[in-house]
């Protein structure tokens, strides 16, 4: 499967979707000018991956900021994992948040409430 | 400009400067709100706040509110009258900093036909407490659809949640077809 590697900018996150090396990550900031255009390839990749996935998928979210339009698309991504899980696949979401960022922690908790996917909250210290 | 106009203009500039100072306005803009403008204003305000050693929490809240306010204008502002040179997606945007709080103010033209619906949305948000807002955000995220312009219908809810205050808004009449919509969001600096 093709690997997706997008380097983050000040308004788009870093995205790594690498099935071969078991790396699945979205990190950084997300306020793209066109959210749909940015996230569509990621959603399509996940559809393809779901049809032929690794035995276990650990997906990392390590965002420091996302706008409301992105929040909707992040939910769409999480829904893909919910589907994968319904089809019996082993999926775990790791939601990283800066230890002093209650809003980011709460955002993770809210997603965990909405989608039926195992969620692990991980706090980290700013470097 | 003849002499009298020059004098009038200079006075206007000075008055404008004084009134900005009086209202503690650190940033003011009128025009089209583009993605580039949004990025420029947020990074400018971010670096100012960092210089002033504002807490991370306050910085993030101001950033959130600014982005959502700017995107509201770029996605929803109607055009002023029927003049060709004035387009939709424009408005006024201001940031002011007082001793205890930041204010982010937006103003844009709205067609009268949209006022009822907007008022309903804003008033509904204003009836909700913290938990209610959280539930509404979750419901809207799940059930809402992205509009053609990329709006998720979440901006106002997010502003209310991030500020922890009621949405403070007004409509001023412009003409028979339009009003000027003003929204002021306040972020406390003592968090």
Q: pLDDT per residue over B50-85, tens digit each? A: 999 999 899 999 999 999 999 988 887 777 655 544
Contact, A70 vs A35, CB < 8 A?
yes
Residue A126 lies in a domain: no
Look up the pTM and report it: 0.91
Residue A120 host element (H or E): strand A119-124
The per-residue pLDDT for B80 is 66
| Residue A72 Cα, gap to closest chain B Cα (Å) | 5
Q: Which of A66, A67, A104 to mutate to test the interface with B (most CBs of B within 10 A)?
A: A67
CA distance, residue A35 to nearest chain B CA (Å) = 7
Sorted by where each begins, the domain ranges of chain B are 3-188
In a domain, A19, yes or no: yes
**Average pLDDT in the B86-94 region?**
80
Any CB–CB contact under 8 A between B60 and chain A? yes
Q: Is the pLDDT of residue A32 over 80?
A: yes
Within 8 A of B154 by CB-CB distance, chain A residues are 68-69, 71-72
Phi, psi of A34 (to 5 degrees): -125, 95
Report how far residue B140's alpha carbon sits from residue B156's, in angstroms, rounded to the nearest whole number. Answer: 12
pLDDT tens-digit map of A64-75: 999 999 999 999
Measured between CA atoms, how close is A48 to chain B, in angstroms? 23
Residue A57 CA to residue B6 CA, distance in Å, equals 69
The predicted pLDDT at position B85 comes to 46
Q: Which of B63, B142, B150 has its CB closest to that of A34?
A: B150
Helices (H), chain B: 3-22, 35-51, 56-76, 115-127, 130-143, 155-163
Q: Identify the closest residue of chain B to A114 by CA–CA distance.
A: B138
The reply to whether A123 falls in a domain is no
Separation in Å, CA A97 to CA A41, A107, B59, B188: 25, 9, 16, 23
Q: Rounded to an integer, what distance in angstroms lies between the CA atom of residue A109 and that of residue B86?
A: 44
B101-111 sheet: strands from edge to edge = B25-32, B90-97, B101-111, B178-188, B168-173
> What is the number of structural domains in chain A?
1
- Average pLDDT, whole number, for chain A? 94
The domain in which residue A38 lies consists of 4-98
H-run or E-run covering B101: strand B101-111
Fold that domain B3-188 belongs to in CATH:
Heat Shock Protein 90 (3.30.565)
DSSP A56-91: EEEEEEEEEEE-HHHHHHHHHHHHHHHHHHHTT-EE
* Closest alpha carbon within chain A to B162: A103
Helices B115-127 and B155-163, axial angle in degrees (round to 10): 30
Of A10, A71, A102, the CB nearest to B154: A71
Query: Which residues of chain A neighbour B59 with C-beta distances below 8 Å?
Result: none
Q: Let me know if residue A94 belongs to a domain.
A: yes
- Would you say residue A127 lies in a domain? no
Provide the 3-class DSSP secondary structure of residue A100. coil
| Residue B88 DSSP label | S
Q: Does B137 touch chain A (CB under 8 A)?
A: yes
CA gap B26, B21 in Å, rounded: 8
Label residue B90 by pLDDT band (50, 70, 90).
Answer: confident
Q: Indicate the residue of B141, B151, B155 with minimum beta-carbon distance to A75.
A: B141
CA pair distance A81, B96, nearest whole angstrom: 43
- Give domain status of residue A120, yes or no: no
Helix (H) or strand (E) holding B109, with range, is strand B101-111
Interchain CB contact of B151 with A (< 8 Å): yes
């Amino acid at each position: 499967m093709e690997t997706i590697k997008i380097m983050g900018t000040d308004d788009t996150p870093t995205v790594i979707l690498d099935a071969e090396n078991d790396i699945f990550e979205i990190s950084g900031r997300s306020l793209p000018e066109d959210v749909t255009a940015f996230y569509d390839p990621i959603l399509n990749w996940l559809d393809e991956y779901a049809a032929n996935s690794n035995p276990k998928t650990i997906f990392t979210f390590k965002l420091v900021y996302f706008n409301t339009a992105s929040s909707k698309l992040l939910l769409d991504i999480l829904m893909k994992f919910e589907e994968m899980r319904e089809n019996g696949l082993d999926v775990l979401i790791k939601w990283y948040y800066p230890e002093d960022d209650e809003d980011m922690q709460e955002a993770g908790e809210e997603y965990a409430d909405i989608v039926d996917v195992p969620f692990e909250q991980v706090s980290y210290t700013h470097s | 400009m003849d002499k009298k106009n020059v004098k009038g203009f200079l006075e206007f500039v000075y008055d404008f400067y004084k009134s900005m100072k009086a209202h503690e306005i650190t940033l003011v803009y009128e025009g089209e709100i583009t993605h580039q403008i949004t990025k420029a204003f947020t990074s400018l305000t971010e670096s100012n706040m960092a210089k002033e050693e504002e807490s991370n929490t306050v910085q993030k809240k101001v950033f959130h509110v600014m982005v959502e306010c700017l995107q509201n204008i770029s996605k929803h502002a109607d055009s002023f009258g029927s003049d060709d040179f004035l387009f939709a997606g424009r408005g006024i945007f201001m940031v002011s900093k007082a001793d205890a709080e930041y204010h982010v103010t937006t103003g844009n033209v709205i067609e009268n036909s949209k006022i009822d619906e907007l008022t309903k949305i804003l008033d509904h948000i204003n009836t909700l407490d913290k938990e209610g807002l959280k539930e509404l955000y979750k419901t809207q995220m799940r059930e809402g659809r992205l509009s053609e312009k990329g709006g998720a219908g979440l901006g106002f809810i997010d502003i209310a949640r991030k500020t922890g205050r009621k949405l403070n808004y007004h409509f001023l009449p412009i003409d028979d077809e339009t009003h000027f919509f003003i929204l002021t969001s306040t972020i406390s600096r003592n968090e």
